[in-house]
Amino acid sequence: MDPMSTASLEVSGLAFAYPDGHQALFGVDFTIARGERVALLGPNGAGKTTLVLHLNGILTGGAGTVTVAGLPVGKRHMAEIRRRVGIVFQDPDDQLFMPTVREDVAFGPAAAGLKGPELERRVEEALARVGMAEFKDRPPHHLSFGQRRRVAVATVLAMEPEILVLDEPSSNLDPASRRELADILRSLDVTVLMVTHDLPYALELCPRSLILSEGVIAADGRTGELLADDDLMRAHRLELPFGFDPRSVMGVPPREPSEAGSSVGEGA
């Protein structure tokens, strides 16, 4: 099989219940192609976190399968899966714990056995990609929140992942930091899955979106079309900011009254 033709991520029939009996996922199916940027949308309690924790094997044991670049997520390939799937948490301080930025970014590759010039190359390249190379000798706690989030992204990029999973990447960022992070994410040559409640940010960065609702994929389609479908949004408790109209941003004409009951983008 041509490696370039292999999907970055395939999820098939994924269902999961927690030990207390709470069923979080009821059969999730989707595929993300290599190099796609996809937003994962949905109300609180939809199962988004449970789904993300299956992508690198933090949660296992339910029904269905998850495959990363052709490798099934399971004990046999776990070390490689966790290298290929890099998760950037909502709070960057969950990922930054070393005395300097450089040491934080070097931690993962060093733990995987890299050292010497190759380790330095990984660190320098990862920091350069997020615009933080000049801060490599600074303590992370001396950086702004937006800078710490960029360093957290660099800690994952240093592992040269197949997929970058971002949990609420725009949260707590001022407008300039939000824009800087968007520019960085557009420049990366990796597959991106962005979990977010920030619907304008999803529209800006992700041509495609998945709506996860009550443990299933309720819609899968072009982000602008999904966000412009008032009935679909209302049905899954998704709300745009006051005054924000995705139709005006994307040049989508208003729907005619006869189309009000239709749903856009359900299915691949």
- Mean pLDDT rounded to a whole number for the chain: 89
Q: Tens digits of per-residue pLDDT, 65-98?
A: 999 998 999 888 898 999 899 999 999 999 999 9
Contact (CB, 8 A) for 173 and 149? yes
Two tokens, residue 85:
């799937």
State residue 57's pLDDT score: 87
Two tokens, residue 34:
């290599």
Calculate the CA 132 to chain-centre distance.
Answer: 21
Under DSSP, the state recorded for 17 is E
Mean pLDDT to the nearest integer, 152-164: 95
Q: Kindly tell me if the per-residue pLDDT of 258 is higher than 80.
A: no
Mean pLDDT to the nearest integer, 48-57: 92
Q: What's the angle, vertex CA 144, arms to CA 141 and CA 150, rounded to 5? A: 95
Helix axes 116-129, 145-157, angle to 10 degrees: 140
Residue 92's nearest CA partner among 178, 201, 168 is: 168
State residue 267's pLDDT score: 41
- Between CA 33 and CA 228 the distance in angstroms is 24
Backbone angles phi, psi at 103, to 5 degrees: -65, -35
State residue 60's pLDDT score: 84
Mean pLDDT to the nearest integer, 19-31: 94
For residue 204, count other CB atoms closer than 10 A to its CB: 17
Q: Kindly tell me if the per-residue pLDDT of 105 is higher than 50.
A: yes
State residue 262's pLDDT score: 40
- Between CA 67 and CA 69 the distance in angstroms is 6
Could you tell me the pTM of the whole model? 0.87
pLDDT tier, 252 (very low <50, low <70, confident <90, very high otherwise) = low
Q: Which CATH class is domain 3-254?
A: alpha beta
State residue 245's pLDDT score: 82
Q: Tens digits of per-residue pLDDT, 174-233?
A: 999 999 999 999 999 999 999 999 999 999 999 999 999 999 999 999 999 999 999 999
Q: Hunting for tokens 């615009």 — which residue is that? A: 131
Q: In the chain, pLDDT over 70 holds for what percent of residues?
A: 91
- Between CA 35 and CA 59 the distance in angstroms is 25
For residue 191, count other CB atoms closer than 10 A to its CB: 24
Residues with Cβ within 8 Å of residue 221, at least 6 apart in sequence: 208, 209, 264, 265, 266, 267
The three-state secondary structure class of 159 is: coil
State residue 250's pLDDT score: 67
State residue 74's pLDDT score: 86
Under DSSP, the state recorded for 215 is T
